[in-house]
Chain A
Amino acid sequence: MAEAYRLSIDAASAALAVRDISAVELTRAVLARIEATEPALRSFITVAADAALAQAQAADARLAGGDAPALCGIPLAIKDVILTRGLRSTAGSKILGNFVPPYSATVTRKLLDAGAVCVGKANCDEFAMGSSTENSAYAITRNPWNLSCVPGGSSGGSASAVAAGQCLGALGTDTGGSIRQPAACCGVVGIKPTYGRVSRYGVVAYASSLDQVGPLGRTVADCAHLLGAIAGHDPRDSTSVDCPTPDYRAALSGKLAGLRLGLPKEYFVDGMQPEVEQAVRAAVRQLESLGAAVDEVSLPHTEYAIAAYYLIATAEASSNLSRYDGIKYGFRAEAEALLEMYRRTRAQGFGAEVKRRIMLGTYALSSGYYDAYYLKAQKVRTLVRNDFLAVLDRCHAIVTPTAPTTAFRIGEKTADPLQMYLADIFTVSVNLAGLPGLSLPCGFDRTGLPIGLQLIGRPFDEQTVLNLAYAYEQATQWHLQQPEI
């Protein structure tokens, strides 16, 4: 079978079921692809070839017995902020450079229990803080469509790996757009589920009230498979919600009749790349031609979302990252006294962006500033959420661009952190409101870089968002384009 690494999960699963290909053969094909492309891309922090082949062998045994789950034998990449028992997990940071977790995240365990094969740990911005994967302590991942551009971030390694055929699907995490933005930059599909839909147990915490794990895949159906496998209540995560998980893949109908979509006027702003606006408006017309009704709507607090988001995210980060003290695990700097050891360990272990966010968050929470910054941001969060809920009361979903531009060049925004923060302008509100959001390819700019379309749904209604994306994907060819690498 030529280019087995290019198969969708759907197609690979069918081929595995009838034994057209074995899980070991498929995994070998993916590992060979990683070997060929990794020197240019750097999508991974750790490639786990031996463990992957052992998992593939076990998957073959299950497949031979018949009745194996759809993900049995499917090679996947897992973002390095998600713990994998016995396999080094660094969160993209030097401070966890030698950390081998004694347990797995619930999402990892669920995938491995379903027979999936983990080929490695995907590169990411340190502690998932960034919009370009330039903040990894290990390497800058490159965009498979143009090696001088970023893959987006912070799940840039996951998105790049999926786009380049280094795995058939991947897990990322999304705190302010970190699944959707790199999915858009790399021309793949990514979904951030409703807050609480997927367990965060064993996921290195950045901003606990915003973080959510989700899948990236080459097709909408592949994301539906992966989401179905990782979703569900987890008693080990007190914020995981107890509600039934639909069979997302089986329920994809592609029928849009009766669906009402909102097109927020605040998401078409000055300074956005004209090709992005054109592609998104064309996609909206396509959705209309497929049977959806589209209304212009307003989300009036959009312009305040970035400030509210960064205040809340950095405040939570400063608290979550206090656990890196050089005592229980990770890197420790030498020092005579305890306080000195804490300060040196953190100074040498954390990168510049992480320190910047810890500083911002500590300031926002400090005495005298709490009300002006943190509390104010939490109130603005209420306004942002209410905007969405009012629109979603009469619309089934909201359509927007995923990002104002296509992938930018490596180094272009590193000198100005605020410019980097603004790259997430269309995605952060969705995290503040806790809603499901999906990005899928809807075109290319004139330099050949992919453009992303974002679909935002009602709380716990991932199914409508997936179905909308599926209908659009069936009617277009964008997802069939592949980067030449």
Chain B
Amino acid sequence: MSLSPADVRHIAMLARLELSQEEELAFCAQLDHILEHFEKLRQLDTENVVPTAHLAEMASAFREDVVSHVPAVAELLANAPARDGDFFKVPQIIE
């Protein structure tokens, strides 16, 4: 298995990351090296093993859909990088 610069560009697009050319090259070599180490998992036969996604052996937690804890709107919006009144402002999406 060998990761190409085109693969790295594709993953960066999926991950919503803009990479410089230097980063692209560095990640290509580093990720390849790390993935090579991960190939070790192939040695194991896991045909009949049940995957463990989570350790909390519990049923889904349900509660009534009631508002119980809301910071004030002003507090929430205080961290917004751009706002317009009580809205988050984003670059134009619709023509």
User: What residues make up the interface of A, taking CB atoms closer than 8 Å to B?
Assistant: 98-100, 102-103, 195-196, 209, 235-236, 238-239, 241, 301, 303-304, 306-308, 310-311, 318, 322, 325-332, 335-344, 346-347, 350, 352, 355-356, 358-360, 362-363, 366, 373, 375-383, 385, 417-418, 421, 433-434
| Interface SS majority for chain B | loop
**Pick from B12, B53, B81: contact of A359, CB under 8 Å:** B12
| Interface SS majority for chain A | helix
Q: Which of chain B's residues have a CB closer than 8 A to the CB of A241?
A: 56, 58
Shortest distance from the beta carbon of A331 to any chain B beta carbon, whole Å:
7
B67 interfacial contact with A, CB 8 Å: no
B36 (CB) vs chain A CBs: closest residue: A418
Shortest distance from the beta carbon of B5 to any chain A beta carbon, whole Å:
13
Q: Which of chain A's residues have a CB closer than 8 A to the CB of B15?
A: 318, 346, 358-359, 362
Q: Are A379 and B49 neighbours in the complex by a CB distance under 8 Å?
A: yes
B6 interfacial contact with A, CB 8 Å: no
Tell me how many residues of B have a C-beta within 8 Å of chain A.
52
Shortest distance from the beta carbon of B73 to any chain A beta carbon, whole Å:
10
Q: Are A359 and B11 neighbours in the complex by a CB distance under 8 Å?
A: yes
Q: Are A385 and B79 neighbours in the complex by a CB distance under 8 Å?
A: no
- Bound-complex Cα distance A360 to B7 (A): 12
Q: Which of chain A's residues have a CB closer than 8 A to the CB of B75?
A: 102
- Bound-complex Cα distance A433 to B27 (A): 30
- Bound-complex Cα distance A342 to B51 (A): 33
Can you give 8 A-B contacts (C-beta < 8 A)?
A100-B79, A235-B61, A304-B41, A318-B15, A352-B23, A379-B50, A379-B51, A381-B52
Q: Are B41 and A326 neighbours in the complex by a CB distance under 8 Å?
A: no
Q: Are A235 and B63 neighbours in the complex by a CB distance under 8 Å?
A: yes
User: Chain B, 41-63, contact with A by CB distance < 8 Å: what is the 0/1 string?
Assistant: 11010100111111110101101
B19 interfacial contact with A, CB 8 Å: yes
- Bound-complex Cα distance A359 to B27 (A): 8
Q: Which of chain B's residues have a CB closer than 8 A to the CB of A418?
A: 33-34, 37
Q: Are B78 and A102 neighbours in the complex by a CB distance under 8 Å?
A: yes
